[in-house]
Structure 1
């Protein structure tokens, strides 16, 4: 095989991989509060107790969130941001 054929084959493989992976990556995501395990949250908490991913101290903290596939949060017993804010307000 000559070098041009090798490069063409590699490019074709890369493009086919991208086309196959695109539908999975294109799925929309939503923030789901109250399901993150300690140290596995995706970003800052509602209460401001931490400001970055992986800093949640408690499992299922109502103020910490993870990205999940849209439409699956309720199935995991999670909450929207508004629901989490209300839950936090009721605790105070």
Structure 2
């Protein structure tokens, strides 16, 4: 195989990989941050003051800890502390 054929094959592979990742992103379901619904240690990134990222919430349903959920479902998620919120709860 010549160098130009190898380069062409590589270029086509890169284009195909890029197209596949674009399609994958477009097919991904829309999500939203939902506060107050995560169990202790099960939150997604950032859980308010004193925490740094995922899995750092200290209590169940911490009001300033969020979990990614399917878009449009957050405020219908009921917990023992009330419904989920699209903004941090105090």
The bucket for the TM-score relative to the shorter chain is: 0.5 to 0.7
2:51·2:57 contact (CA, 8 Å) conserved in 1? no
Which residue of 2 is the match for residue 19 of structure 1? 22
Residue 39 (str. 1) matches residue 41 (str. 2): yes
Please state if 1:62 is matched with 2:68: no
Corresponding residue to 1:80 among 80, 86, 90: 86
How far apart are residue 73 of structure 1 and its match?
0.7
Structure 1: where are the runs of 5+ without partners?
86-92
- The ranges of structure 1 where at least 4 consecutive aligned residues each deviate by more than 4 angstroms after the TM superposition are none
- Note the aligned Cα RMSD (angstroms): 2.6
Instruction: Find the aligned partners of 1:13 and 1:30 in 2 and give their Cα distance.
Output: 30
Which TM-score applies when normalising by structure 1?
A: 0.62
Q: What per-residue deviation string (whole Å, max 9, x for no partner) do you get for residues 35-88 of structure 1?
A: 11222222132xx3x332121112222332123333121233312326x23xxx
Gaps of 5+ in 2: 79-83
Equivalent pair of 2:46/2:52 in contact (CA under 8 Å): yes
- Give the helix-richer structure, 1 or 2: 1
* Count, aligned residues: 80
